[in-house]
Amino acid sequence: MKRTVERIMIEPRGPFRLAASIGFLAGFPPAGMPPKEDHVLRIAFVVDGTEDVAGVDIRQAEPDGPVSVGVMTTAPEALVERQVARLLSLDHDGRGFPDVGGRDPVIGSLQDASPGFRPTGFWSPFEAAVWAITSHRIQMAQAARVKAAIARQFGTVVHHDGHDLLAFPTPAALASADLATVPGLGGRKPEWLRGIGVAAMDGQLDADALRSVPAPVALASLQRLAGVGPFSAELILIRGAMTVDVAPANEGRLARAMAAAYGLPEGAGPDALAGIIAGWAPFRTWTSVLVRSSLEPVRPH
């Protein structure tokens, strides 16, 4: 790990507030991130397509302004920049997102309540796949503890910006890990997780590749991975590869949030939901996450 820190700048296209992203992650169990008091997002993660890890500190001096990223890694910084931009949904032009709220008063109201909101996801489809399998049929809080235990046992600590940041294991480390030693990880989950490590090493969880094909094709390919069903495949594609215009079809919490937000009658069918979701294009992912988060509001910091 090189000792010098390089700083890169990412210019948001459209509204963006890092504070909203930090608040979202603080309430997102897979992130395992406590609330931040200094408005700086510090994370460590496996760099896409490598066995390297990066430590970053992410700052924004003013809403909608440039995002400054301090990077410590042995991987090419261009890869880290792309991954940070994807994580924060800064790799897409968001200037048209407010138009969705202009057409739909419900969405406009949610946007007003969370100014500068953009979805924040998993560091990679690889980590999203790990979460999907780890959290299967257990409570989210328990799954977060299991994921944290995997990171502590097999991950890497990066000292950056005065903090020790824990990165999740690399794909190779996960593929060879003795996961039977992790409390709470039973059944076939250790086997499936090692398979996720192998799949990531083989390029089957590449974010760009998953986003380059129609969503049904990407979802079908993900469901060929052991332990990944329809719900998990959507999670990996939408919150791991960070799509922009794909809405989940198997997310019960989204349906409940929509029913509450739109005042739909109890038992409103998929057709009623689909008609509303169609109006969210070309930001169906972003809007779905915004509506979904209305059940567990983003906390400002």
pLDDT in tens, 212-238: 999 999 999 999 999 999 999 999 999
User: E-strand spans in the chain?
Assistant: 6-10, 41-46, 53-60, 67-73, 156-160, 163-167
* Architecture of the CATH domain 6-95: 2-Layer Sandwich (3.30)
In the block, tokens 């910084």 appear at 77
Q: Say if residue 170's pLDDT is above 90.
A: yes
Amino acid symbol at 298: V
Decide if 249 contacts 211 (C-beta within 8 A).
no
Q: What percent of the chain has pLDDT over 70?
A: 94
Q: Say if residue 16's pLDDT is above 70.
A: yes
Residue 118's pLDDT is what?
96
Give the Cβ contact number of residue 7 at 10 Å: 11
Q: Say if residue 10's pLDDT is above 50.
A: yes
In the block, tokens 């409103």 appear at 268
Number of H helices, E strands in the chain: 14, 6
In the block, tokens 């469901």 appear at 223
Residue 296's pLDDT is what?
63
Decide if 114 contacts 20 (C-beta within 8 A).
yes
Q: Distance between CA atoms of 47 and 239, rounded to whole angstroms?
A: 17
**pLDDT per residue as tens digits for the range 242-283:** 999 999 998 888 988 999 999 988 777 788 899 999 999 999
- Here the tokens at position 74 are 């042995």
What average pLDDT does this structure show over 155-161?
Answer: 93
Decide if 133 contacts 174 (C-beta within 8 A).
no
What average pLDDT does this structure show over 29-37?
Answer: 69
Q: Say if residue 3's pLDDT is above 70.
A: no
Decide if 125 contacts 211 (C-beta within 8 A).
no
**Beta carbons within 8 Å of 214's beta carbon, 6+ residues apart:** none
Q: Say if residue 301's pLDDT is above 50.
A: no
In the block, tokens 């052991």 appear at 226
Q: Is residue 55 very low, low, confident or very high in pLDDT (cuts 50, 70, 90)?
A: very high
Question: Left if phi > 0, otherwise alpha if psi is -120 to 50, otherwise beta: which for 263?
Answer: left
Decide if 52 contacts 249 (C-beta within 8 A).
no
Q: Spell out the domain ranges in the chain.
A: 6-95
Q: What are phi and psi of 70, to 5 degrees?
A: -85, 130
Q: 19 vs 37, 40, 238, CA distance in Å? A: 10, 8, 22
**Beta carbons within 8 Å of 126's beta carbon, 6+ residues apart:** 46, 171, 196, 197, 200, 205, 240
Beta bridge partners of 256: none
